[in-house]
Structures are given as structure tokens and as C-alpha cells.
Structure 1
Amino acid sequence: MAKKKQHKQKHPASLLIGLIILLGLAFAGVQLPDFLNDFLLPGNTKPTSQKTTQAPSSQSGDNPGPIEHGDATFTQEEMKDNKKGWIHYGEYDQFDRPTTAEALITPAMIGTGTGAKQDIRPPGFISGTDPNNHSRGHLIGRQLGGSGEDPKNLVTLYQNPVNTPFMTKYENMVRKAADNGETIRYRVKPIYEGDIGMPTAVQMEGKGLNKHTKINFNVTIENKK
């Protein structure tokens, strides 16, 4: 009778040594494949391959950024073109705070404004240095012809991110349209709470007079870091 072919048996000692090594690596904190972790450490509930998703960091801290409200709210009367550009600053309120700035921005007005005078301290202004981060913020921006010498055009804003980049974004839009020959009806209004000197927000509206204009916005920007 023919003898049955015998298969070589694997050495159990080698398997035992391998398991001991893997166990040692697992307890040492070396990340192993999930199926090996489940086999070697069935009682281990600590996830080994789950990714932790962190919320994206905010460039502007607690400020949510411009809040859009749709189209500008100018009336037909307010949109009448008198051909000449103009700027009008509203009177102070009962707490001596600037109230509004209205304008008709024409190409000729671009770049004719002035920087904020350092001896003007708008209500609520402390310092431009950290931690205050205050700016003498133009209601009608300098690049649009706004005065930095008329206190009625200056309010206390956080330089970053309110004055820039948020307000600057819309000022740049208006400037670009004016550079392309458009005339834009424009309004900026500070919003206050109680008798606090520093505005809590700024509302910006702009609408081009050109039939095919792309300028038509109404946004609120909170005055916070």
C-alpha cells in the first residue's frame, strides 16, 4: 500500500513569536491595520483610523462678514441723475455721532478724497494699535472722493476686518464701475445702539445708473473683530 504524502507542519513557535511582536507594537502605540487591531486587541475601543475634522479657522474672528439684503433701496427720486457728482454728509444725532453719507459717484470723483486727519477722534475712538484695532473709518471712502477732514464722514471702525477687507470690497466695486464710465448712487449709514459712540454695524448701498450696470447691492457689515 502506498504511503500517504505527509505535509510539513508550520512551526507553532514561529507563529507565537510573531504574535508576541505584533502585540508589543500595538501596546507601544504603533498604528496597525484595523483588522489586526481588532484581532489582537478586541477590547480596545479607541479608534485608530478615524479622522478628526476641525472647523476651519476664521480669518475675521467673530465677524460673520458682509450680510447681503438684496437690491439697494433707493427711490426713483433718489436715482435721478443730475449729471454732476456730489457728496452730502448728514447732521450729527443727539449724541454728536455721524449719521449718514449720501453720494452720486462719477468717474471724475475717483481718487479725489483725502486721508483721515489724525487729530479727529470719532466717537468711541481709542487707538489704532492693538488691542483696540480702531480706525477713523470713512463713510464715503477716500478713493471715491470722501473727505477725511470732515468729522461727519468719519466713524470708529475696527480696521480689520471691517474697514478692510469688508468695506473696501464694495468700495472697490464702485470704483471699478466708475473707472469704466458709470455713475453710481451710493449711501453708507452707521448703525448705533443706545448712546454708544462706536457703531455696531455699517449699512452700505450702491446702484449704478447705467441700464446694464452690475452694481446693485445692500449689505450690512457688523462692526466687530
Structure 2
Amino acid sequence: MAKKNNSQRKHPAAIIIGILVALGLTFAGIQVPDFLQDFLSSSESEVKKTSQGTTSQSGENPGPIEHGEATFTKEELKDNKKGWVHYGEYDEYNRPTTANALIKPEMIGTGSGAKQEIKPPGFISGLDPHNHSRGHLIGRQLGGSGEDPKNLVTLYQNPVNTPFMTKYENMVRKAADNGETIRYRVIPVYEGDIGMPTAVQMEGKSLNSSTINFNVTIENKK
């Protein structure tokens, strides 16, 4: 992971002092020097970027890659009175393959935490330097099981499991809390026979509104 150059950061105290000096010079009728104006301009830009969340992502993970709308077929978007969760069968390397769900409001908060005895393919440790998590495909808050190994894959806890996947899970939960029904799917993407997925694809679509409609890939890297 590339280290940030601390010498290039502007300390908040320095910014405040620069503003006060500029104000003092202005009130005294003295023109603010060019170098101080440049400093304040770049500082203001930096503050805006931080407040808007546009600072660059640390590490190698580019963040969620958006592909537009979800790709569910009409058949896959059929509604039922009750919600459901279905986990796909293992592949030839004993890896989880997919998780589908029709999420109803009553399912929210009914999932379970990841069982510590389960070690998904590729899992080593949650401690540094591995930073692994037993990542739910269908999130716990959406009714996903942490006791069924078909719903657990090895993910980097930060930033993959949190905050990237959590962002979309929270979107779905909010919609369900508002009474909506959401079709949802998460697919782990593998390379060769490696146990740990290289990425996860997440899709969600509201059945009775346009609130939720996403299709994203999140690379499984730090």
C-alpha cells in the first residue's frame, strides 16, 4: 500500500492561521501576498474535496465499479407473498457460487452472524496482515445466514466487506424498511482454482418502484 506523503498535507492549524493573517492584512489595507492567496485557494479546494468524499481511495481497490441497471429477467422479478433466500450449490472446488433473494420488510434483521467454526475457501485470519472476513453474500441485516457455509466467502474486511458492500446492503435495507420488495443477487467471481474470490457482483432491483436498481462489481482487494 502506497504511503501518503505527509509533507504535502496541510495541517488544519496552518490553514486557520493563514486565514487570520489574510484577514488582518485586508483590514489593515495591505494586499495579501500572492503566495498566501495560492495557499488559501489550494486549502479551500482540499477542504471541499474532503467534505464531498472525493479524496482518492487508499490501497489498490478502486471501489465499486458500476455497470448500470440490474439484469434480472421478468421471470426472476416475479413477486411472492413471502420473501425468500436461496444459496447456489458449490462449484467443483467446493466454493460458494451465488446467493439470490426476494427481500421483504419482515426479513430485515433476521439473519445471523458468521459462525466462527466456518472457514470459507481461502480464509486464513481476520488479523493483520490478512484482514480476512467471513463475508455474507446475502448480508446479515437482509436475512442472510451466517451458519450456512454456502453464504460465506472470504473477503477483505476493509474496504470490501465494509464500507463497499455495506453501502449497497444499507440501500436495500432502507428501501425494505420503507415497505418495498427488492430482488437481490450476489455472485462471487473466481480465478482458476483460487479459494478466495477476486470480486463480487451485486445486483438489486425494487419490484414496485425505481428506488433500487443497481449492478456493481467490487474487486476483492485491499
TM-score, with length taken from structure 1 = 0.74
Q: Of residues 213, 219, 224 in structure 1, which corresponds to 2:221?
A: 224
Mark the runs of 5 or more structure 2 residues left unpaired by the alignment: 1-32, 35-41, 47-53
What letter corresponds to residue 214 of structure 2 in structure 1? F
Aligned equivalents of 1:83 and 1:172: distance in 2? 23
Among residues 104, 107, 122, which one is paired with 1:106 in the alignment?
Answer: 104
Count of aligned pairs: 174
Say if 2:170 is the partner of 1:176. Answer: no
Distance 2:165 2:69 in 1: 17
1:72-111 map, 5 Å:
72-111=70-109
Q: Does 1:163 align with 2:155?
A: no
Q: Which amino acid aligns with 2:160?
A: V
Q: Displacement of 1:58 after TM fit? A: 3.9
- Alpha-carbon distance in structure 2 between the residues aligned to 1:60 and 1:192: 24
CA contact (8 A) 2:57 2:63 kept: no
Local SS of the residue matching 2:78: coil
Contact kept, 8 Å, 1:65 with 1:166, in 2: the verdict is yes
Q: Contact (CA 8 Å) 2:189, 2:199: kept in 1 or not?
A: yes
Structure 1: tracts of 5 or more residues without a match: 1-32, 35-50
Cα pair 1:85 1:103 within 8 Å, conserved: yes
Q: Cα distance, 1:60 vs. partner? A: 3.8
Match of 1:213 in 2: 210
Give 4+ residue runs of structure 1 displaced > 6 Å after superposition: none
**1:196 corresponds to 2:199:** no
Amino acid at match of 1:74: F
Is the contact made by 1:137 and 1:155 (CA closer than 8 Å) also made in structure 2? yes
SS in structure 1 at match of 2:147:
coil
| Secondary structure, aligned partner of 1:70 | coil
Q: 1:24 maps to which residue?
A: none
Per-residue deviation, 1:127: 0.2
CA distance in structure 2 between the aligned counterparts of 1:214 and 1:63, rounded to whole angstroms = 27
Distance 2:83 2:58 in 1: 34
2:136 corresponds to which residue? 138
Q: CA deviation at 1:59?
A: 4.1
Which residue identity does 2:144 align to in structure 1?
G
Show CA shifts across 1:118-152 (max 9, x none). Answer: 01000000000000000000000000000000000
1:70 to 65, 68, 71: 68
Say which one has the larger Rg.
1
- 2:75 aligned counterpart, secondary structure: coil
Identity among equivalent positions (%) equals 85
- The answer on whether the counterparts of 1:60 and 1:160 sit within 8 Å (CA) in structure 2 is no
| Structure richer in helix, relative to its length | 2
